[in-house]
Chain A
Amino acid sequence: MIRYFLSLTVLLAGLFAAATSSADNSTIGDGVAPGANNAAAAAAKEKGGYVADYDDIFKVKGGPEAKPDTEIKPLMWNSVDEVFYDELGPHVEQPIEFPHDRHAGDPNKVNPDGKTGDGINCMYCHTYARRSLTSGIPPLRKCIGCHQNIPSVRDTPRIEKLFEYWDAGKPIPWKKVHDLPDYVRFNHERHIQRFIFKQERPYKEVCGYCHGDVSSMTVARRVKTLSMGFCVNCHKKNHALDNTFTKAGHGPNDCFMCHK
């Protein structure tokens, strides 16, 4: 039996490795540009209280030979393309069908309903993402703050409903779309800080990596599995740490990071 099992698993592994070894591309920060200098690293070292071990943690790579860590073998699931984690979540019925496309969509693109988006930054409303574990749902007064100055849509059903809540003084009971189990703790702040502020990637790419292209949805819907494999897959890769591409490192991989 033991031989069965081993041969079976090895076979499976081989299959996956073969099927997916060439599919490792187009992820956030996967490439580290060669030839970057060490100055940024040295500067960063000076910031810390003590810096001796900083290099060890972040695997600072310098010099012309610097390249992404290609030593990682094609692992079981590691190199499976993100497509593997595409999975539409259930439809969540919200008290107000909030049109994300109308707010965050591309201003130059016409939506099916004949309107263009406003191109609002995600973090204009989900304002806590950069400084808290949770991204936060905007308070009602944030909605009202804008909409009381937009008379053109004041009479549409959704906005009327919005003002009903406002007048009643009740918060809108939004339902959770991206719901992680309680034994998982995802930290928005760290990801936003790293990928948007440090690496200066476009917010649509960063937020969209997990949440999908929300700017094309009305009511948001989960598009990735947000499963552990989805997280781990990314955390195993070597990413550039800043936009100078002098340093690379992967996310923490110990279980205590998310489960505690």
Chain B
Amino acid sequence: MKIKSDTFIRNPKDLWKGEPEHTEVRDLSPHIGFNQITSDVVNSLENPRPIYWWAIAICIAMVGVGVACEVHQYKTGLGVSNKSNTNVWGVYIASFIFWVGVSHAGTLLSALLHLTHSDWRKSVFRYAEAMTTFALMTAGLFVIVHLGRLWQVYYVMPYPNERGIWPNFQSPLVWDMFVIGTYLTCSSIFLYTGMIPDLAVFRDNIHDGWRKKLYTFLAMGWQGTDRQWRNFRVAYLTLSVYLIILAVSGHSVVSSDFAMSQQPGWHITSFPPYFVVGALYSGNAALITVFIILRYMFRYEEYLNMDVLRKLVRLTFALAMIWTYLHFIEMATVWYGHDQAAKDQLIFKATGVYAGWWWLFNFLAVVCPWVMAFRRWQTNLPVQMVLSLLLNVGMWLERWLIVAPTLGHSHYPWTFDFDQWPSYIQWGILFGSFGWFGLLLLVFCKVFPAVSMYELKELAYARKVELRHAHAEEGHGRPELATKGAH
């Protein structure tokens, strides 16, 4: 039985109708076999929809804009980004947190859900893990872009030097450097390790050209022997455990950039969980965006299907609710606390020069996710596409509104309320960062399997077994009915 595949462009009349009941599917159709998985994935790499090339071109153009802005800033000095001696940070630090946040969803899907044996993750975790790596790389770039003397960035690293001096280990920025570096290293290793069986499949299915050489090299002689599989599973499990710790500690450390300081609006104990959940939230929203794009672009409709999307959306909604709770907790602790400066800061956010943005952020990040609560819209692709983008805009604003208002309204009234609107340089570099991230991801998805073949095959096997059991038990009937209760 062929399951009706969705198309990206639908009849506009159906746009708000949501997914009809009869197209309800499971995470993987039991009718998909191993060979089909292999051929679908390999073919998708060879032959994406033409929009792929347009996307690549757009990303390159965006990177070009970002690089041009950065070159100008590098040559002239950071002043062109229009910060001031009061508002010393700006878009860069906000974007840094944002990208670190985006990276977290990948770890959640690939590592945490791996441990909980959530099978539906199997088609999405690969690109999610790739997003982790690339988002961290983008975040790292922002740290460097933000420095006044970025050519001296190596001073932050504790390398043995002739001067006999070390970085300041008390500084959260140094912790950042450690944690981001570690996280990036580990997530790259995790991504690569998980790909080895699939790379071997590619190696065996592609017969010439540079790809063949590449896959041969990267597959590291994977033969799929029992011993290899056993070692592989142990290594993969270990890494995933380690990565979860890193992910949680990672954003906690980033939050301590702020929470360790004495500035009102930053000096908040609940920041680490708030940051971590916020990261998962925005990262999941980003996953949905990429989900919809890849699904269309690489013709992954069979694998990135509505069931997976629904679960992803539900997960995002759950995270959004946790985050909302923490958001209000944060405000409540400030409001009922004794720190007058922090209270002033909160009032300033809601009424000061950043008030418009603050209310917009609250609408986007707190109110908007409620759309996800409605079943009919959970699998509505245009709605989810727009929604996930809006959530990310909201979450970016959240980060910016952590950074900027505190700088503009901290302890010293003489420097209060400078409305330092970032210049086009800052926006250009932020814009370029999306191009850079997109480019990396698109190239990755074209060169490497963006869905995990071996895990899908496991899933396919499981579904086939289920189907067989259903037939055996019922003796007749439709397989869809047999599996319905599994939701």
Contacts and interface: CB of A to CB of B under 8 A. Distances in A.
Interface of A: 1-2, 5, 9, 12-13, 75-78, 225, 227-229, 232-233
Nearest to A84: B162
A77 B164 CA distance: 7
Contacts of B181: 1
A18 B487 CA distance: 65
6 contacts: A1-B178, A1-B181, A1-B182, A1-B186, A9-B158, A9-B160
Contacts of B178: 1-2
Contact of B160 (A2, A76, A228): A76
A227 B186 contact: no
B185 to A, nearest CB: 5
Contact of B162 (A1, A5, A78, A229): A229
Interface string B157-174: 011111110000000000
A75 B158 CA distance: 16
A77 B160 CA distance: 9
Contacts of A1: 178, 181-182, 185-186
A1 B158 CA distance: 13
A227 B158 contact: no
Nearest to B179: A2
Contact of A232 (B163, B182, B185): B163
Given A232-B163, A232-B164, 4 more contacts: A1-B182, A1-B186, A228-B163, A229-B163
Contacts of A77: 162, 164
Nearest to B189: A1
Contacts of A75: 164
A204 B181 CA distance: 50
A5 B160 contact: no
Interface string B419-461: 0000000000000000000000000000000000000000000
Contacts of A9: 158-160
A228 B162 contact: yes
B162 A227 contact: yes
Nearest to B159: A9
A6 to B, nearest CB: 9
A227 B185 contact: no
A56 to B, nearest CB: 24
A227 B163 contact: yes
A78 B160 CA distance: 12
Contacts of A225: 162
A12 B160 contact: yes
A2 B164 contact: no
Interface string B82-110: 00000000000000000000000000000
A79 to B, nearest CB: 11
Contact of B182 (A2, A13, A78, A228): A2
Interface pairs A-B: 7 shortest CB-CB: A229-B162, A228-B163, A1-B182, A1-B185, A77-B164, A232-B164, A229-B163
Contacts of B186: 1
Interface string B105-142: 00000000000000000000000000000000000000
B164 A229 contact: yes
Contacts of B159: 9
Contacts of A5: 158
A13 B160 contact: yes
A85 to B, nearest CB: 9
Contacts of B185: 1
B163 A78 contact: no
B182 A76 contact: no
A103 B164 CA distance: 38
Nearest to B185: A1
A119 to B, nearest CB: 36
B241 to A, nearest CB: 16
A77 B161 CA distance: 9
B163 A76 contact: no
Contacts of B162: 77, 225, 227-229
Contacts of B182: 1-2
Nearest to A4: B185
Nearest to A233: B164
A11 to B, nearest CB: 11
Nearest to A229: B162
Contacts of A2: 178, 182
